[in-house]
Amino acid sequence: MPHNDALAPRLWQYGRLQNSSAMVQSWTRVNFMYDWNDIRIFLAVAGAGSTLAASRKLDMNQTTVSRRITALEEALGVTLFERDTRGYALTAQGSALIDVAGHMAAAAGNVSLRAEHLVRASAGKIRVSAAHSVMNIWVLPLVSGFRQLNPDIFFETNAAEHYVSLENGEADIAVRAADIIEGDTLIAKKLLTVHWAVYCSKAYLASHGMPGCVEDMNSHCILSYPKPMMQSVGLLKWLEPQLDPEKIVSTADSIVTMSASLRTESAVGVLPCVEADPIADLVKCFSHEKLVSGLWLVASRESYQDLRVRKFMKYVSEHIAR
């Protein structure tokens, strides 16, 4: 994308501050001849290719969008778009400024996210996300124990089978079952190894017997997990190609659902031992060295700046039941 150094100073003035150890870059706004919303509208029109499509995306009147684009062009002293019957196309000057405007939008988003973290921190609230089974077995007892020592800290727990976005501030901390946690924006600590096994109900065992190995499972009806889950969890990804699809009679969308289904369905299925072993109606058929996963404690680098979050993560690492 072309760059025009003569235009950039209209948006920003770039200065340098020297200290004893490093050169620090500082951006200073020259003036506020335009509204930030005009930059947002500029990006929307550039992305949509017309003021009509942009107005729908922004939930604004089309006339207002057109008027604000004209006002921005007058404020900057440049023509941002070529107008014709097919829509709006960026001029060379508009193309030169689109990257700068994009960086401004990203910076504005970061400001909002940072402010949200500060508000939560000042309120003393920690939001924790985990799958239902992980929440019940590990997280809730740990929250209860931590709050006895820190009664001023309020927790908001979210049990969900899908991963929330820690980077986007949807939670402060997550406890996740995974083989490995990747991402430069995350702080992760492996808490323990979770062992899984194949289970069936006592009633199923009495009528059909039990499989003794993976190959034997294809002589039985099988309860499985949805395809995305089978592909995202390492042990399930290893198991899936060894199962006969025609023997799969149903899928369970969570560990909790699988546990309940095995007690009522005439089938076998895979569960974490910590979930299934205490259930009197279930019988362990067999385990395997490949049927293991990790349990991880994860936070975004932004959330990790909060002393309360670090304190709770340290407590979890030291007190989780192994």
Distance CA 71, CA 252 (A): 56
Q: Are residues 103 and 239 in the same domain?
A: no
Same domain, 168 and 128: yes
CB 290 within 8 A of CB 198: no
User: What string of pLDDT tens digits covers the 322 residues of the chain?
Assistant: 444 444 443 443 333 333 333 323 333 333 445 567 888 899 999 999 998 998 898 889 989 999 999 988 888 889 999 998 888 999 998 888 888 888 887 777 677 666 666 555 545 689 999 999 999 999 999 999 999 999 888 999 999 888 888 988 899 999 998 888 888 889 999 999 999 999 999 999 999 999 999 999 999 999 999 988 888 789 999 999 999 999 999 999 999 999 999 999 899 999 999 999 999 999 999 999 999 999 999 999 989 998 999 999 999 999 997 7
Q: Is 197 within the bounds of a domain?
A: yes
**Does any domain span residue 3?**
no
Which pLDDT does position 19 carry in this prediction?
36
Is 313 a member of any domain? yes
d(CA 59, CA 44): 11
**Boundary-marking domain end, from 103, 120, 137:** 120
Tell me which of 80, 101, 120 is where a domain ends.
Answer: 120
> What is the phi-psi region of residue 41: left when phi exceeds 0, alpha when psi lies from -120 to 50, beta otherwise?
alpha
Q: Please report, for the domain that includes residue 265, its CATH number.
A: 3.40.190.10
pLDDT at 102: 83
Q: Do 272 and 217 lie in a common domain?
A: yes
Whether residues 116 and 12 share a domain: the answer is: yes
Total number of domains constituting the chain: 3
| CA 309 remoteness from chain centre | 17
Whether 289 and 302 map to the same domain: the answer is no
Is the same domain home to 219 and 249? Answer: yes
In a domain, 76, yes or no: yes
pLDDT for the residue numbered 118: 59
Q: Is residue 80 part of a domain?
A: yes
Question: Residue 314: what pLDDT?
Answer: 96
Where helices occur in 26-91 by DSSP H, the ranges are 36-48, 51-58, 62-76
Whether 2 is in a domain gets the answer no
Same domain? For 167 and 308 the reply is: yes
Residue after which a domain boundary falls, among 120, 145, 172: 120
Domain annotation covers residue 145: yes
- Give the pLDDT confidence score for residue 11 in this predicted structure: 42
Task: Give the number of other Cβ atoms within 10 Å of residue 116's Cβ.
Answer: 12
Q: What are phi and psi of 290, to 5 degrees?
A: -85, -15
| Cα–Cα distance list, 56 to 51, 94, 200, 265 (Å) | 9, 22, 53, 49
Domain match, 34 and 183 both: no
- The CATH number that applies at residue 58 is 1.10.10.10
pLDDT at 86: 85
User: Do residue 302 and residue 180 come from a single domain?
Assistant: yes
Distance CA 244, CA 225 (A): 14
**Domain range spanning residue 265?**
193-295
d(CA 237, CA 217): 16
Query: Are 209 and 257 within one domain?
Result: yes
pLDDT (0 to 100) of residue 119: 59
Euclidean distance between CA atoms 236 and 252, whole angstroms: 13
- Residue 27 shares a structural domain with residue 103: yes
Does residue 211 share a domain with residue 276?
yes
